[in-house]
């Protein structure tokens, strides 16, 4: 229908006398909003086939550029600026993942509890917010035994948080952290990691299973070796129907740096060259196969895909599922 200028002007003039009256209408009083007591629970549920997966945030911490000793500082600062980060404050999340297979509740990693300061330790609170009693968890799988993954196994008194759960960890991982000879030769600053790993696993001694480099630990859940960050660092592959999710643990610590530059290792890696090799292999595989991935240190909820980029790779967060 063509625009009728005369009709438009007539309509506007007819409405004009009403406009001043709008200012005279009573306006509702706007009450001041009371600030929320805290953030909403760090939870995100999504489906992998018939399985329900819940991403559970434990909190966040800040890394620094100095923790990536091989990084080219000029190049790294450009990458950080592009991500709106600074060399002194590179944020990284700590995430755990709960898989409900319909028959079993399987928790992958447990967060930090009280081991690493007040910005972390929220897995327990968020599990309860999700309606999950720790006593209902059937199996806990550790990608590795660093405190931000294993310390949530125990309460401040050292007792088991997950009262009936079996604990599964890689054989080589468990052997490394419980070897007194390795402990005695470790630098003084690293020795507390050994003590925390042992304390976390201790109350599960009677229900601890150790797996090899590749094993299906329950139907639809398989562990895959990705060594380097720690000797037994493992990934967890969740498969249901035609859907697949790879929970890759600590393949990437700083998304703003290591997708573009996978050969930049972090100083927490026990074997940096092996960690680099694992990262390159996994990034290449998931990019080629278009596999959905979940990362312990990717921005919550940590779910997405990996694509190839002009400079290395890029992380593409998954679209939110309502």
- Average pLDDT, 10 consecutive residues per value, the chain (322 residues): 50 46 52 75 95 97 96 95 96 98 97 92 95 97 98 97 98 98 95 97 97 95 98 98 98 98 97 98 98 98 96 94 76
Q: How far apart are the first and last CA of the chain?
A: 40
Residue with tokens 């007040």: 118
Q: 154 with 160: CB under 8 angstroms?
A: yes
Sheet holding 303-308, edge to edge: 214-218, 221-225, 234-240, 243-247, 292-294, 303-308, 313-317
Based on the number of CB atoms within 10 Å of its own CB, is 126 exposed (0-12), middle (13-18) or buried (19 or more)? buried
Look at the pTM and tell me if it is higher than 0.85.
yes
- In a 13 Å sphere around the CA of 252, the CA atoms on its Cβ side amount to 29
> What local confidence, expressed as pLDDT, does residue 4 receive?
56
Based on the number of CB atoms within 10 Å of its own CB, is 218 exposed (0-12), middle (13-18) or buried (19 or more)? middle
> What local confidence, expressed as pLDDT, does residue 38 receive?
73
Q: How far apart are CA 227 and CA 307, in angstroms?
A: 23
The domain over range 43-317 is classified in CATH as 3.30.2130.30: no
> What local confidence, expressed as pLDDT, does residue 20 receive?
46
> What local confidence, expressed as pLDDT, does residue 32 receive?
75
CB neighbours of residue 280 within 10 Å: 15
Q: How far apart are CA 315 and CA 297, in angstroms?
A: 12
Q: Which residues pair with 59 in a beta bridge?
A: 94
> What local confidence, expressed as pLDDT, does residue 305 receive?
98
Q: How far is CA 274 from CA 143, 228, 251, 277, 304, in A?
A: 16, 4, 11, 5, 24
Q: 238 with 245: CB under 8 angstroms?
A: yes
> What local confidence, expressed as pLDDT, does residue 321 receive?
79
């Amino acid at each position: 229908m063509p625009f009728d200028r005369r009709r438009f002007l007539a309509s506007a003039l007819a409405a004009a006398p009403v406009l001043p009256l709008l200012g005279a209408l009573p306006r509702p009083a706007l009450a001041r909003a009371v600030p929320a007591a805290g953030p909403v629970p760090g939870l995100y549920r999504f489906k992998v086939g018939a399985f329900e997966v819940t991403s559970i945030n434990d909190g966040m911490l800040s890394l620094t550029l100095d923790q990536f000793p091989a990084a080219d500082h000029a190049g790294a600062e450009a990458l950080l600026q592009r991500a709106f980060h600074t060399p002194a404050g590179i944020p990284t999340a700590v995430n755990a993942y709960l898989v409900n297979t319909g028959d079993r509740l399987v928790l992958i990693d447990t967060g930090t509890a009280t081991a690493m300061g007040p910005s972390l330790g929220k897995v327990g609170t968020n599990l309860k917010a999700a309606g999950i009693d720790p006593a209902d968890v059937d199996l806990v799988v550790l990608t590795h035994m660093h405190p931000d993954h294993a310390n949530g196994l125990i309460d401040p008194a050292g007792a088991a948080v997950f009262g009936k759960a079996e604990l599964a960890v890689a054989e080589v991982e468990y052997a490394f952290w419980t070897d007194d000879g390795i402990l005695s030769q470790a630098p003084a600053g690293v020795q507390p990691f050994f003590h925390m790993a042992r304390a976390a696993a201790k109350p599960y001694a009677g229900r601890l299973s150790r797996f090899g480099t590749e094993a299906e630990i329950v139907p639809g859940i398989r562990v895959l070796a990705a060594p380097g960050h720690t000797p037994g660092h493992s990934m967890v592959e969740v498969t249901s129907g035609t859907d697949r999710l790879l929970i890759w643990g600590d393949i990437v610590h700083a998304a703003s740096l290591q997708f573009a530059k996978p050969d930049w290792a972090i100083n927490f890696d026990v074997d940096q060259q092996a960690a680099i090799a694992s990262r390159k292999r996994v990034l290449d595989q998931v990019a080629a196969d278009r596999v959905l991935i979940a990362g312990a240190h990717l921005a919550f909820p940590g779910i997405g895909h990996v694509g190839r980029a002009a400079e290395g790779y890029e992380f593409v967060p998954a679209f939110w599922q309502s």
